[in-house]
Amino acid sequence: MARYRLGVVRSFTSRHFLVGGDFGPEGELHAHAYRAEVRLEGDELDAQGFLVNIVRVEEALDGLVARYRNAVLNDLPEFAGSNTGVEIFARVLVEAMSASLEGEPLSAVEVRLWESEEAWASCRRELP
């Protein structure tokens, strides 16, 4: 059986600060130039030969990027009660992308979120 993958990338800047520890400068409000890579997986292509309509994926990701662009992550309800580190941000994005693409014949959604040119975290969600 073939496994297909489709990816879309967007860049944006958000601000945040870490809480609950001695994080040095990361404990102060600062910005990151993020790059979000969304990767979708599935085993079947549709009648037109696509895993999923890429326009739908781009629209879903663009909506998320618009929400987080120039935002202070700590002020957003999806981060309430948690830190705003790159791992948690990747989970927030993968959950939102999975919800946006509900009904598509996908087996997994993954987000790799770069917070700099050297550092990233990813979160993968297997779909039923």
Tokens describing residue 38: 């969304």
79: pLDDT confidence band, cut at 50, 70 and 90?
A: very high
Residue 30: burial class (beta carbons within 10 Å; 0-12, 13-18, 19+):
exposed
Residues 49-67 pLDDT 10s: 999 999 999 999 999 999 9
Q: Please give the tally of structural domains in the chain.
A: 1
- The pTM of the full predicted model, rounded to 2 decimals, is 0.94
Mean pLDDT of 19-41: 96
Above 80 in pLDDT, residue 11?
A: yes
CA dihedral 7, 71, 22, 121 (to 10 degrees): 0
Q: What is the mean pLDDT of residues 108-120?
A: 97
Looking up residue 108, the CATH number of its domain turns out to be: 3.30.479.10
Q: Is the pLDDT confidence value at 2 over 90?
A: no
Q: Domain containing 116: what range?
A: 4-126
